[in-house]
Structure 1
Amino acid sequence: MTDFLLLAFIFLIAGVIAVPIATRLGLGSVLGYLIAGIVISPVLSLLHVDVISIQHFAEFGVVMMLFLVGLELEPKRLWAMRGRLIGLGGGQVGLTAGVVMALAMLFGLEWTVALAIGLIAALSSTAIVLQTLNEKGLMKSDGGQSSFSVLLAQDIAVIPMLALMPLLAMPELLGAASDVAHAAEGDHGAGMSLVAGLNGWQTALVNVVAIAAVVGAGSYLTRPIFRFIAGANLRELFTATALMMVIGIALLMSLVGLSPALGTFLAGVVLANSEYRHELESDIDPFKGLLLGLFFMTVGAAINFGLLADNLLLILGLTVLLIVVKAAVLAVLAVVFKLRGADRWLLALSLAQAGEFGFVLLSFSVASAVLPQILADQLLLVVALSMMLTPLLFIFYDRVIVPRYTFADDGEADKIEEQGAVIIAGGGRIGGLVRRILSAAGYSLTVIDYNAQHLENMRRFGARIYYGDATRPDLLHAAGLHHAKVFVAAIDDREKLTELVRYVRETAPHVHIIARAVDRHHVYELWAVGCRDIIRETYDSALRIGRSSLEALNIPKDRAQMMVDAFNRADRKAMIALADAYDPEIPVMENATYIARVQDTLGPREVALHAEMMHILETGEMPQEDDVAQGPSG
């Protein structure tokens, strides 16, 4: 018990110290966990800890992550991705395996060994890539969605890879592989399997039945089970049930020789339309985060620094070669599948590493007499180092690639042939609605958006939208910024939106700017750069919900509307009073002037607002007051 507690404490304290420091330095949480693992590796060696065994346990975090990813994908959306899954994902696996195999044969390796290495190299790290894409808010971009499609295709490809490996066995390695298998069996016991001893078609039949069982259970048993659990009215039972489902599916997939991650992903897709989806997400997510952090630390701790020191130049060279080859293959596929600008780089750089399934395939290839142990140990270092370099590739993307496509001419934006009186930057859910309203009113518009798939869909319905990054000065001028009357800033990225407003305000002061704000503090930031027509993206809908709530409480509709209007006026006055005290360069909780202004403003405002609402409720009339200064619109 003491050993277990000591080990848990070592991993926890390493993560708690390293990750916040790495995050503040802009390195990301994944690199923080990897560094933490490297730092504690000497301690683990002194304690004779089997890091690989812990890593196998921590890989369950990947299983949980793919289950949560599946919950976000409805079956219709997954079907819509089939082109990228088969073409982009399948192409990446096939091309990368082929190129790496050819290079390995040039180094003098047998074709069977070269093919095994190519298959291992074709896989990327689902854990690192998805975690980093979500942290950086890149998952919804074209590059992020393409990366996800490739990762999913790779996870599916693991199944035929595991089936192919034993066919590549080398006779001279069979004796050593048998010794390894017996040693593993002695240490860990023989693993259970439902397909042991079955021939090919029988194994395939068992696999089909297992997948059908997962789909059927997800479709028909989930609701009755959760209704039964709800009767106890205990939150911890929901958590236990969610874990039971994920562990049970992973166990079934393992017993029939399939990927547990793929099985839980499929279950997540089946449950994507379930009313219990959000409950499952909230229950599983904390365990997923902890196990992924543990997995990343074990990757760092498992590095054999003695072997690395003996073969430093060789292993570093192979790691760099692997990253370059995979990035080149992905870059070619990005061009073929018409990814543009920074999205091409995001796809190429994010998936250029080897993956956690590489550890599984390396161990399996040694046990199957495909690779000699010494070569597998060296390749294990290449896989681990490439994973460790991935956060640095994302930093390179953020600091070098993104600014290039934000401020420089990449020559790939659409040529804008017509200049409208209104320019809309961002054609998504907000910019799209604005476009429809103004188009219906007969105004000429120029809409700029960087999401190629979204633009293609809108163009099918006749919308005139141009591809390009609206933060680029040359594209803004081509869109007729100096002749426009209104500029609507509706892009998603908060910091880019603020800088875009600043540029338009300084370059074309005659243009009326209407800006989308993420939250109250973003309103202050936009106010500070000169914008005076600011709309909080959730503000108006919240006002409508508030009015409906008052009506549901039996307040007449006209009085409910007047009460909401009173709140709106009071909030605008408070926003103006607080905006001048807000300093974007000072953290909110360290800005004494702003905090004092909040305390001086909000208290009296709440008292006055309450009195005004009571007057409306009792008399049905607005109280007489001075005209209210025009402030931010939401």
Structure 2
Amino acid sequence: LLFRRFGIGAVLGYLIAGILIGPQGLGLISEGETILEFSEIGIILLLFLVGLELAPARLMRLRRAIFGLGLSQVAVCGIALFLLIMANTNFSLGASIALGLPLALSSTAQVLPMLQSSGRLNTPSGESAFSILLFQDLSIIPLLTIVAVLSRAPPTQDSLPGWLTAILGVLAIVGLILAGRYLLQPLLKLIGRIAERELFIVAGLVAVFGSAALMEVIGLSPALGAFVAGVMLANSPYRHELEADIDPFRSLLLGLFFLAVGMLLDLNVIRENTAFVFGAAIALVATKTLVIFALGKLFGMQTMPALSMGLLLSQGGEFGFVLFAEAEQAMLIQPEASSLFGAVITVSMATTPLLMLLVQRFNAASAASNVELNDPSQADSASVLVVGHGRFGQTVSQMFAGANVAVTIIDIKPQQIDVSQQFGRKVFYGDGTRVDLLRSAGAEKCAAIVFCIDDRQFDSATIDVISSAFPDVKIFVRAFDRVHLLDIKKSKISGAKREVFESAIHLAKQAMVAIDLDEVLIDEVDREYRQLDCDRLEAQREANDMFAGRHLGFGLSGGKRESD
């Protein structure tokens, strides 16, 4: 709470708290290793939640960033850090490789929550950062293989060759995808029909931890298995419900993870090698920032997003501890070196919140020439929240303004915010479908939330989560089309309207007047069409079938005016 209050971020607070209560601080907790093992479940849940936001189609769209930008980052940063260690230390070639390559990885547990909480995960720069982190998780396979090839320890009978591990990993991913499509999705539909919420949560958790366990058995990252499980459920209508159930545990366990990292920090190593630890941490952060910034520019990013991404991914990562332990078992490095570079990673993690504050100041300084993206928590108290300020939201917000109703407007598109600002409209930046962001904007004090977003993925499951969080707030939704309208009407909403319904009716009436049809006939057709449409919607809703009530319409068999 103290660190959040001063805007530094919770991660640094967790690290320092871990140091204070750990064996080298007050000595209140001595089992740091055990706590770390349990808290790694938080990373597994984090990757699962990220997978839920990445439907396979979107993942395919990011393939260039994952295998282009991600591969380039791991390779270039790894080589640069290896050369830096070789040039400035007395470590052997094998030890320098075993220490340098893991330092190229960043902290998924630290970076992804920062992207999610700020609503930047779905922005172009956020997707680029995520693509790099995803490839880093995939790169655990070749990095473990490199350590195994360089190993000076006698081989064990239980270990698998790196090439075999890679093949098994690919087969496992394919098997999980097929299991998700042909087993898990039908199972969730069955559970959904019988309305057993507990069984639904159990099925989701079995998918998460079953996938994670499968990957661990074949020697891969369990977090990668959880990510695949999330992608399997990304198109499920229950994904938002799963996210709402699991997210609190993810937050608590990630906090526990950083506490454990602080507990395990060897203060004696830092005390005896202060200059080296802090100098190496600064060199690590500077090298990764410069390399990632250069790669971002090479891949077409603008200057500030590329710099922000470089600083965001500049720290060492939690998988570095895993790879250092493997290198230690492979007799490539001594335990003292593992502790020393583990301290370097921890110190580099502590710099990230401070660097993010620096980025925010850079953004503020360049606000005159760039889009000003304000956090919704800065908004004044309002009676209505309007989410989405495109062509639909602009009309809605102006209608409220004309009635002297205080409105807070939220949009996730910087370009749209820029255009709105040019016309004097104050629009706040963020993903207005997230409960945490709506709460920071004061949603619980509002009379209504009007969702004006052009998104068919904004479905009844998402609306149910929002309405549960704000039960006293009236919710209105812009429906994309008839199918979308039928879906959102399953939720507790106060009103919904198809985006082109009224405009199409009015345009038809204008054309009828222009060709001199009788005004009484025009009004009668208008009234009857609306009634037929309502009857057809009700028939479709009751039958859960889009073809129900298909006879209800003019010009069709059974239509009232077919013979007119």
TM interval, short-chain normalised: 0.5 to 0.7
Do the aligned partners of 2:21 and 2:27 also contact (CA within 8 Å) in 1?
no
Shift of 1:238: 3.0
1:420 is matched with none
Shift of 1:49: 2.3
**Aligned equivalents of 2:163, 2:62: Cα separation in 1:** 29
2:102 is matched with 120
Do the aligned partners of 2:19 and 2:262 also contact (CA within 8 Å) in 1?
yes
State how 1:189-204 maps to structure 2 within 5 Å: 196=158, 198=160, 202-204=164-166
Shift of 1:313: 0.9
State how 1:421-570 maps to structure 2 within 5 Å: 430-431=389-390, 487-490=424-427, 492=429, 542=476
Shift of 1:47: 5.7
DSSP-derived class of the 1:406 partner: coil
Shift of 1:63: 1.0
Cα-to-partner distance string for 1:56-115 (whole Å, 9 max, x where unaligned):
221121111111100111111111111111221111111101111111111243222222
1:528 is matched with none
Do the aligned partners of 1:330 and 1:348 also contact (CA within 8 Å) in 2?
yes
Shift of 1:376: 1.2
DSSP-derived class of the 1:36 partner: helix
Do the aligned partners of 1:253 and 1:263 also contact (CA within 8 Å) in 2?
yes
Q: Which runs of no fewer than 5 residues in structure 2 stay unpaired?
A: 373-386, 397-410, 432-439, 453-472, 480-484, 490-496, 498-564
- Going from structure 1 to structure 2, the CA distance change for 1:48 and 1:295 (only over 3 Å counts) comes to closer
Do the aligned partners of 2:293 and 2:307 also contact (CA within 8 Å) in 1?
yes
**Aligned equivalents of 2:441, 2:350: Cα separation in 1:** 34
Do the aligned partners of 2:70 and 2:132 also contact (CA within 8 Å) in 1?
yes
Cα-to-partner distance string for 1:536-591 (whole Å, 9 max, x where unaligned):
6559982889xx99xx9xxxxxxx9xxxxxxxxxxxxxxxxxxxxxxxxxxxxxxx
1:33 is matched with 14
Counterpart pick for 1:284 among 240, 246, 252: 246
1:247 is matched with 209
Shift of 1:369: 1.5
Letter in 1 for 2:149: L
Shift of 1:212: 2.3
**Aligned equivalents of 1:543, 1:207: Cα separation in 2:** 43
1:138 is matched with 120
Asked if residue 159 in structure 1 is aligned to residue 141 in structure 2, the reply is yes
Do the aligned partners of 1:141 and 1:343 also contact (CA within 8 Å) in 2?
no
Counterpart pick for 2:290 among 315, 319, 328: 328
Do the aligned partners of 2:52 and 2:239 also contact (CA within 8 Å) in 1?
yes
2:469 is matched with none
Counterpart pick for 2:81 among 100, 122, 131: 100
**Aligned equivalents of 1:522, 1:536: Cα separation in 2:** 14
- Going from structure 1 to structure 2, the CA distance change for 1:238 and 1:520 (only over 3 Å counts) comes to closer
Letter in 2 for 1:402: N
**Aligned equivalents of 2:23, 2:131: Cα separation in 1:** 38
- Going from structure 1 to structure 2, the CA distance change for 1:44 and 1:242 (only over 3 Å counts) comes to farther
Do the aligned partners of 1:61 and 1:287 also contact (CA within 8 Å) in 2?
yes
- Going from structure 1 to structure 2, the CA distance change for 1:197 and 1:282 (only over 3 Å counts) comes to same
Cα-to-partner distance string for 1:301-345 (whole Å, 9 max, x where unaligned):
111111111111110100111000000101111211222243122
DSSP-derived class of the 1:542 partner: strand
Counterpart pick for 1:405 among 366, 369, 372: 366
**Aligned equivalents of 1:263, 1:111: Cα separation in 2:** 33
Letter in 1 for 2:476: A
Letter in 1 for 2:429: D
2:337 is matched with 375
Letter in 2 for 1:161: L
Letter in 2 for 1:82: R
- Going from structure 1 to structure 2, the CA distance change for 1:271 and 1:302 (only over 3 Å counts) comes to same
Letter in 2 for 1:278: H
Asked if residue 354 in structure 1 is aligned to residue 316 in structure 2, the reply is yes
Letter in 2 for 1:316: F
TM-score by length of 1: 0.60
**Aligned equivalents of 2:268, 2:58: Cα separation in 1:** 48
Shift of 1:227: 4.8
**Aligned equivalents of 1:326, 1:297: Cα separation in 2:** 25
**Aligned equivalents of 1:387, 1:289: Cα separation in 2:** 18
Shift of 1:253: 0.5
Letter in 1 for 2:389: I
Shift of 1:230: 5.3
- Going from structure 1 to structure 2, the CA distance change for 1:149 and 1:373 (only over 3 Å counts) comes to same
DSSP-derived class of the 1:275 partner: coil
Shift of 1:377: 1.1
1:316 is matched with 278
**Aligned equivalents of 1:339, 1:523: Cα separation in 2:** 38
Counterpart pick for 2:63 among 63, 82, 86: 82
State how 1:180-195 maps to structure 2 within 5 Å: none
- Going from structure 1 to structure 2, the CA distance change for 1:335 and 1:489 (only over 3 Å counts) comes to same
Letter in 1 for 2:104: A
- Going from structure 1 to structure 2, the CA distance change for 1:523 and 1:334 (only over 3 Å counts) comes to farther
Shift of 1:397: 1.7
- Going from structure 1 to structure 2, the CA distance change for 1:285 and 1:116 (only over 3 Å counts) comes to same
DSSP-derived class of the 1:119 partner: helix
Counterpart pick for 1:262 among 205, 220, 224: 224
2:262 is matched with 300
**Aligned equivalents of 2:162, 2:277: Cα separation in 1:** 38
Cα-to-partner distance string for 1:503-526 (whole Å, 9 max, x where unaligned):
xxxxxxxxxxxxxx97779999xx
Letter in 2 for 1:492: Y
Cα-to-partner distance string for 1:579-629 (whole Å, 9 max, x where unaligned):
xxxxxxxxxxxxxxxxxxxxxxxxxxxxxxxxxxxxxxxxxxxxxxxxxxx
**Aligned equivalents of 1:265, 1:349: Cα separation in 2:** 25
DSSP-derived class of the 2:349 partner: helix
- Going from structure 1 to structure 2, the CA distance change for 1:308 and 1:470 (only over 3 Å counts) comes to farther
**Aligned equivalents of 2:180, 2:329: Cα separation in 1:** 35
TM-score by length of 2: 0.67
**Aligned equivalents of 2:304, 2:444: Cα separation in 1:** 29
2:511 is matched with none
Shift of 1:300: 1.3
Cα-to-partner distance string for 1:106-157 (whole Å, 9 max, x where unaligned):
1243222222222111000001001112222322333222111111111111
- Going from structure 1 to structure 2, the CA distance change for 1:518 and 1:49 (only over 3 Å counts) comes to closer
Shift of 1:433: 5.5
- Going from structure 1 to structure 2, the CA distance change for 1:240 and 1:99 (only over 3 Å counts) comes to same
Do the aligned partners of 1:345 and 1:401 also contact (CA within 8 Å) in 2?
no
Query: Greater helix percent: which structure?
Result: 1
**Aligned equivalents of 1:301, 1:164: Cα separation in 2:** 30
- Going from structure 1 to structure 2, the CA distance change for 1:540 and 1:199 (only over 3 Å counts) comes to closer
Letter in 1 for 2:8: L
- Going from structure 1 to structure 2, the CA distance change for 1:76 and 1:228 (only over 3 Å counts) comes to closer
Do the aligned partners of 2:69 and 2:295 also contact (CA within 8 Å) in 1?
yes
Letter in 2 for 1:286: P
Identity %: 35
Larger mean CA deviation between 157-166 and 315-324 belongs to 157-166
**Aligned equivalents of 1:70, 1:490: Cα separation in 2:** 29
